[in-house]
Amino acid sequence: QAHLDRIAAVDGDIHAFLHVSDSALSAAAQIDRRRAAGEDLGPVAGVPLAVKDVLVTTDMPSTSGSRILEGYLSPYDATVVARARAAGLIPLGKTNMDEFAMGSSTEHSAYGPTHNPWDLERIPGGSGGGSAAAVAAFEAPLALGSDTGGSIRQPAHVTGTVGLKPTYGGVSRYGAIALASSLDQVGPVTRSVLDAGLLHDVIGGHDPHDSTSLDQSWPSFAEAAREGARGDVLKGLKVGVIRELPDAGFQAGVSASFRAALAVLESQGAEIVEISAPHFEYGVAAYYLILPAEASSNLAKFDSVRFGMRLEVPGGTVEDVMARTRDAGFGDEVKRRIILGTYALSAGYYDAYYGSAQKVRTLIQRDFDDAFAQVDVIATPSAPTTAFKLGEKIDDPMQMYLNDVTTIPANLAGVPGISIPSGLAEEDGLPVGIQFLAPARQDARLYRVGAALE
Ligand code: GLN
């Protein structure tokens, strides 16, 4: 009730939610009854959870921020949502996002932007700005996000929250409306590293419904966070800092906060090691070919027949109906990427664009392999700037894309990454995050290090 009251009080200004559940209270009462009857429900039962609208739910519409899916009701729950419900978490509502998770500011939502609770004139990050803003504004203690190129970590960075992108295959994508299937991962957005671990323990692990799901057991991430918080995990930890990360484009306060965090790590016994990742900076270029290519294919299913909106064309052919529906249903950024992706995949251009981008992806993966032969984790600022003003970059896609320079490489390589708050930038008083990256399957290391520094 307290969270619903908070939503009623502040969400008119913040617009973190696209839909608020009308069954949250009855679900909570059910948990109360089971607990009163002596059932052992585990650590998160009864805790409210905000769910990014990219995840399908049976009891609330799922739009992925797009007009084309307005009012769409899924016949099944995403695996992460089903697991959350089974653990007693209470889905509180669906959160706003850039359309089909394309963006870094939530301004590409068909339903209007979300506002950053720290300053309502600024962006809450994207694409999962709704989830991060809901957590930062105390509308929800926990949220689910998805991260294809940074959409969990960059919103966490600009809202002073914790966000973790798991190892590719660590969390099921079943029921996550696909953006770019080789990059997408679902993960937690929370106010502390321990909370993220608690949520990750619930949603993670093998799912036969997702062919890319890793069939292995995972350690408890909550336990890893607790170890980090009490132990001396930073002693002797080798933290890699990338030599080639271009200094240009990084806001002074972001760089200063990053250096201060490194100094804290060092004072706790960590060793800062300069490493070379020469292809890291080409991540953005490779990503903005691979992502549109995969997205153009994934979004072909919105054909006015199988899902969502259909606009009739009297006397028209089925192609006319598809064209009219897709024209009206998709926003500009989605159309831009479908066109880019279709072009990059077309015969004659495939080798020049998509093929080259895949080669760069392999080089970035090798950079990570070399780096992790020398260090335990890599640290970077989570994003180049603090929250920018709403409207500032909306007409300049290149500027928007460059915001993802530090987050994208982890998606290309499939490795896990966490953003945790590292203070406020001196010049504007806005939150800054530090990102840690670990080798694939070593998500627990990020919880240990994150909780130790938090
Ligand atoms: N900003 C990135 C993009 O626009 C991130 C998207 C994501 O992680 N879903 O593609």
Dihedral sign of CA atoms 144, 378, 442, 290 in order:
positive
* Mutational test site, ligand 1, from 148, 333, 336, max ligand atoms within 8 Å of CB: 148
- The encoded tokens of residue 328 equal 């009206």
Distance 417 CA to ligand 1 centre (A): 15
Query: What is the reported pTM?
Result: 0.98
Q: Please tell me what DSSP assigns to residue 437.
A: E
pLDDT band (50, 70, 90) for residue 398: confident
pLDDT band (50, 70, 90) for residue 454: very high
pLDDT in tens, 39-80: 999 999 999 999 999 999 999 999 999 999 998 999 999 999
List the one residue out of 47, 49, 52 whose CA is nearest residue 145.
52
* Mutational test site, ligand 1, from 127, 154, 179, max ligand atoms within 8 Å of CB: 127
Is the minimum distance from the CB of 103 to ligand 1 under 6 angstroms? yes
Amino acid of residue 103: G
Distance 147 CA to ligand 1 centre (A): 7
222 three-class SS: helix
pLDDT band (50, 70, 90) for residue 350: confident
With a pLDDT cut of 70, the percent of the chain lying above it is 99
Q: What DSSP string describes 52-77?
A: ETTB--SSS---TT-GGGTT---SS-
**Count of CB atoms situated within 10 Å of the CB of 217:** 7
pLDDT in tens, 162-207: 999 999 999 999 999 999 999 999 999 999 999 999 999 999 999 9
| Residue pair 295/301 in contact by the 8 Å Cβ criterion | no
**Domains in the chain, please, with CATH?**
2-228 (3.90.1300.10)
> Is the pLDDT assigned to residue 368 strictly greater than 80?
yes
Long-range contacts made by residues 25-28, C-beta under 8 angstroms, separation at least 24? Answer: 25/1, 27/85, 27/90, 27/91, 28/90
> Is the pLDDT assigned to residue 248 strictly greater than 80?
no
List the one residue out of 84, 58, 104, 59 whose CA is nearest residue 144.
84
Q: Which residue has the tokens 């939610």?
A: 17
Q: What DSSP string describes 224-251?
A: HHHHHHHS-TTTT-EEEEETTS--TT--
pLDDT band (50, 70, 90) for residue 154: very high
**Count of CB atoms situated within 10 Å of the CB of 220:** 16
Give bridge partners of residue 165 from the DSSP assignment.
417
List the one residue out of 157, 221, 230 whose CA is nearest residue 386.
157
Amino acid of residue 170: G
Q: How many CA atoms lie within 13 A of 180 on its CB side?
A: 26
Amino acid of residue 256: A
Distance 127 CA to ligand 1 centre (A): 6
Residue 249: its pLDDT value, please?
Answer: 82
How do strand 377-381 and strand 431-437 relate by DSSP bridges?
Answer: antiparallel
With a pLDDT cut of 90, the percent of the chain lying above it is 94
Determine whether 52 is an active site residue: yes
Lowest mean pLDDT among 246-255, 298-307, 383-392: 246-255
Is the minimum distance from the CB of 80 to ligand 1 under 6 angstroms? no
> Is the pLDDT assigned to residue 305 strictly greater than 80?
yes
> Is the pLDDT assigned to residue 246 strictly greater than 80?
no
Residue 369: its pLDDT value, please?
Answer: 98
> Is the pLDDT assigned to residue 136 strictly greater than 80?
yes
CA 133 remoteness from chain centre: 13
Question: How far is Cα 38 from Cα 15, in angstroms, rounded to an integer?
Answer: 38
| Residue pair 453/421 in contact by the 8 Å Cβ criterion | no
Question: How far is Cα 268 from Cα 153, in angstroms, rounded to an integer?
Answer: 25
| Residue pair 421/432 in contact by the 8 Å Cβ criterion | yes
Q: Ligand 1 atom 10: the closest Cα is on which residue? A: 102
Give percent helix, percent strand, percent coil of the chain, each to the nearest 5: 40, 15, 45
Residue 219: its pLDDT value, please?
Answer: 98
pLDDT band (50, 70, 90) for residue 443: very high
| Residue pair 407/154 in contact by the 8 Å Cβ criterion | yes
Dihedral sign of CA atoms 187, 188, 192, 195 in order:
negative
Is the minimum distance from the CB of 341 to ligand 1 under 6 angstroms? no
Q: How far is CA 78 from CA 23, 130, 337, in A?
A: 18, 18, 25
Whether the ω angle into residue 23 lies within 30 degrees of 0, i.e. cis, is: no
Is the minimum distance from the CB of 142 to ligand 1 under 6 angstroms? no
Calculate ∠ Cα 167-405-242, nearest 5°.
80
Amino acid of residue 389: K
Q: 399 vs 180, which has greater pLDDT?
A: 180
Region 369-380: what's the mean pLDDT?
98
Residue 245: its pLDDT value, please?
Answer: 85
31-49 CB burial, b ≥16 within 10 A, e <16: beeeeeeeeeeeebbbbbb
Residue 308: its pLDDT value, please?
Answer: 87
Q: For residue 61, with 0-12 CB atoms within 10 Å meaning exposed, 13-18 middle and 19 or more buried, which class applies?
A: middle
Q: What is the average pLDDT score of the chain? A: 96
